[in-house]
Structure 1
Amino acid sequence: MTSSRHDDVHSSPHELQRKLSNRHLQLIAIGGAIGTGLFMGSGKTIALAGPSILFIYMIIGLMFFFLMRALGEILLSNLHYKSFIDMAHELIGPGAGYYIGWSYWLGWILVGIADLAAIINYLGFWLPPDTTFTPMGQALISVGCVLFVLGLNLLTVKLFGEIEFWFALIKILAILGLIGIGGYMVFNQFAAPDGTTASFQHVWSHGGMFPQGGNGFLAGFQIALFAFVGVELLGTMAAETKDPEKNLPKAVNAIPTRIILFYVLSLFVVMSVTPWNQIPADRSPFVSLFLHAGIPTSAIIMNLVVLSSVMSSMNSGVFSTSRMLFGLARGRQAPQALATLSKRAVPAKGLLFSCLFIMAGAALQYFVPNTVEAFTLASSLCVILFISIWGIIMVCYLRYRKLQPQLHAASRFKMPGGVLMSYVVLAFLLFALVILSLEPDTLKALLVSPLWLVILTVTYYGLYKPRLRKYQQYAQTEQYAKSETLR
């Protein structure tokens, strides 16, 4: 199928348009892999795991490469799949489509709430010492950020791609700059104001690579997993990507390089300049590096970069949730008002619906004024939801291999390891859930999460099933009436 035919499929004003180019897709994919979890969450992960965070990111990165290869193979096997919903609905059943769609929506709402907490934390960098924003100030900042992101998304998808392109480029250049400056400090044995000399030996000379033991290593996985939320964004952009057969494989295959460069190498440099046990858990280690080195101007620039990264994360989240709602509504699994597009081919009502819920997250600032605590709570719930979503994607792959072997045989983008690696990734995700029960704050989120399953079960059988039954009866009646008229 040629790219022109791909474009024709979505040329209707009632369908999502293929406006995201390879340039957009590549940078959005990279931006999805460099989010709030890396810039803010890595500080706490380093405090929990020490230098073993490098191994954590390599392990998770490897698992996500296979997950994304599985997702890529399925999406390219049927270019009519608009997102995970269509895929899960066809390969597992309508219940799976309903669960993955609404859970992905809630997951990104929680990412948005976590991002609001992170923004307030970063803005506090410019406040006088020992002062914080009032709860009202925090709420107003949150509302302003949500309205700004809403305004960006109400414009065309091409503009969204362009904005995300520049957001991602800023992040990439900042991390490359940090690696370059940090490497220069190490090779020139830069001495910080406190007398610490930059050296690669800092990585292993303060208690070894596992200074916090096995428990610290395992505890580091929770926040590290949050850093990878967004890698699967490509799956929500399948319906708006030009020439997906060429561009999706490029984006997926670049994942290992991104993980090594942006996660492992950057944090290796950070811990070489600033010993891991001197990195504050409640501050971005990227900002801490420059403050520790006594370069406040660079720290201010990096803090601005980190802020832009969080806004990028929220921007991507609002984008993806609106597309999920559009897909759910088209499948009659959400209010039909959300199935319409604006004149700019944007699901505007879905955007408003998602932003209202993220806005409600501003209220969290009243009840949990400690931004790091708020961030941990929201990110923990988010990780639990995304683990289940990633698990369903792997189950979809196993079903695809069983039900559609001819498509797998014809695929030019087969997942390495196939069925065996699918089970390995599923085992890893189960292992991640077990890890969440080891920490008190993540255990709370794990205990609360079944409530979401209850809500979805009630709404699926109480709202969706009766609505679908009515629609099918109506469609049959209409079809019968038409056949009678033709007679």
Structure 2
Amino acid sequence: MIAVGAGESQNPEKTVPQSIKHTLIILVILFIGTIVALGSILPQSDSSLAQSPFVTILSNINIPYASDIMNLILFITIFSGANSGVYAASRMLWSLADKNTLPKGLAKLSKNGIPVYGLILTIAGGLLALFSSIYAPNTVYLALTAISAFAVVFVWLVIGWAHFNFRRQFIKAGHSTSELKYKAPLFPLLPILVIIICLLSLVGIAFDTNQRIAIIIGVPFAIICYIWHALVYRKKDHHE
């Protein structure tokens, strides 16, 4: 998400490192901090853990409409996540179309610089996924969620490998890391760790009967995309 937004930033050299730090701090506070707080307040034997622990805490301190408040917060959170997904997906479609990987029409921008057709296609796909959760929750929607999980893990696997290979090739070409505007810390340990964790996650997905469909569909699809790119686009670049 940060990388996608960097393309529309006026000063990515400054804003991207700041965004990474701020995002990390926010995630630590929201996720780890919340878990620590809940674990400290609610006893493990509390029967009210069957419902939302947040609702339980708010109810215990006599805050009225606790469940309604939490539902509103959850709705805003989900809407925010969906909005971020639409933003990132529409920009990715534009980027792929701009590189002639997808139909050129998806690269069309409005006068405000918004990828209109990519945005429409993203929203349409999101609505179809939403309808599948209502009309086919145990088949289509389950497969979509599994494939989404696979896609996230696979993308991070590629990111780790791309970063590792980029730094190696950059140094091999006679450059120095001092030339880089931003240097990811703990190289090469960090990308290697990312690759290992992602591979272990893929193994875990393969052993999960509910998620295995993602491997069955995702791996062949990724291989086909790679072969197609190698045969068509690399050959085209070579001729140019």
| Fold shared by both chains (TM-score > 0.5) | yes
User: Structure 1, residues 197-243: CA drift from partner, whole Å, max 9, x if none?
Assistant: xxxxxxxxxxxxxxxxxxxxxxxxxxxxxxxxxxxx00111111121
Q: Which residue number in structure 2 is paired with residue 450 of structure 1? A: 219
- Cα deviations by residue, 1:154-195 (Å, 9 ceiling, x for unpaired): xxxxxxxxxxxxxxxxxxxxxxxxxxxxxxxxxxxxxxxxxx
Which of 160, 165, 168 is residue 402 of structure 1 equivalent to?
Answer: 168
| Residue 215 of structure 2 corresponds to residue 465 of structure 1 | no
Aligned to 2:98: 330
Cα distance in 2 for partners of 1:287, 1:315 equals 25
Question: What is the 5 A alignment of 1:360-399?
Answer: 360-364=128-132, 365-368=134-137, 374=141, 378-399=144-165
Structure 2: distance between partners of 1:318 and 1:254? 22
Alignment counterpart, residue 258 of structure 1, candidates 26, 29, 32: 26
Structure 2 counterpart of 1:318: 86
The yes-or-no answer on 1:424 pairing with 2:189 is no
Whole-angstrom distance in 2 between the partners of 1:472 and 1:428: 35
**2:7 is the alignment partner of 1:236:** no
Aligned to 1:300: 68
Q: Secondary structure at the match of 1:418?
A: coil
Aligned residues: 233
Q: CA deviation at 1:417?
A: 1.6
Aligned residue in 2 for 1:148 = none
Q: Verify: 1:437 aligned to 2:203, yes or no.
A: no
Task: Report deviation, 1:318.
Answer: 0.8
What is the deviation of 1:437?
3.4
**Structure 1 contact 436–443 (Cα < 8 Å) conserved:** yes
Moved over 6 A (4+): none
**Could you report, residue by residue, the CA deviation over 1:356-378 in whole angstroms, capped at 9, with x for unpaired residues?**
222221331211179xx95x654
Residue 306 of structure 1 and its aligned partner are, at CA, apart by: 0.9
| Contact 1:437-1:443 within 8 A present in 2 as well | yes
Q: How does 1:176-215 map to 2 (within 5 A)?
A: none
Match of 2:123, as an amino acid?
A: C
Q: Is the 8 A contact 1:342 1:348 kept in 2?
A: yes
Residues 472 and 454 of structure 1, relative CA distance in 2, 3 Å threshold: closer
- For 1:329 and 1:262, the matched residues in 2 are separated by 36
Equivalence map 1:18-37=2 (5 Å):
none
| Secondary structure, counterpart of 1:409 in structure 2 | helix
Q: Within 5 A, what are the aligned runs for 1:139-178?
A: none
Within 5 Å, give how 1:123-138 maps onto structure 2: none
Task: Say if 2:94 and 2:107, in contact at 8 Å, map to a contact too.
Answer: yes
Instruction: State the 1:246 CA deviation.
Output: 1.4
1:269-295 C-alpha deviation (Å, 9 max, x unpaired): 223333456434xx6543454357664
* 1:356 pairs with 2:120: no
In structure 2, relative to structure 1, the CA distance for the partners of 1:359 and 1:268 (3 Å cut) is same
TM-score after normalising by structure 1: 0.43
Instruction: List gaps (5 residues or longer) in structure 2.
Output: none
* Residue identity opposite 2:157 in structure 1: G
User: What 5-or-longer segments of structure 1 have no aligned partner?
Assistant: 1-232, 477-487
Q: In structure 2, do the counterparts of structure 1 residues 456 and 293 end up closer, same or farther at CA, with 3 Å as the change threshold?
A: farther
Aligned partner of residue 241 in structure 1, secondary structure: coil
C-alpha distance 251-294 of structure 1, shift in aligned 2 (>3 A) = same
**1:274, 1:292 within 8 Å by CA — same for their partners in 2?**
no
**Shift of residue 259, structure 1, vs aligned partner:** 3.3
Q: How large is the RMSD of aligned CA atoms in angstroms?
A: 3.1
Aligned with residue 248 of structure 1, among 16, 27, 33? 16
Whether the 8 Å CA contact 1:287–1:303 is kept in 2: the answer is no
CA contact under 8 A between 2:156 and 2:194: conserved in structure 1?
no
CA distance 1:422–1:440, change in 2 (3 Å)? same
- Read off the aligned partner of 1:258 and give its amino acid letter: I
Q: Measure how far apart 1:440 and its partner are.
A: 2.9
Does residue 414 (structure 1) correspond to residue 183 (structure 2)? The answer is yes
Shift of 1:308: 0.8
2:26 matched to 1:269? no
CA deviations on 1:5-28 (whole Å, 9 max, x unpaired) are xxxxxxxxxxxxxxxxxxxxxxxx
CA–CA distance in 2 between the matches of 1:289 and 1:451?
A: 47
Give the Cα–Cα distance (whole angstroms) in 1 for the partners of residues 53 and 148 of structure 2.
22
Report deviation, 1:457. Answer: 5.3
More displaced stretch, 263-272 vs 449-458: 449-458
RCO greater where, 1 or 2, for CA within 8 Å and sep 6 or more? Answer: 1
Q: What letter matches 1:387 in structure 2?
A: V
- CA shift, 1:433, in A, is 1.8
Normalization by structure 2: what TM-score?
Answer: 0.81
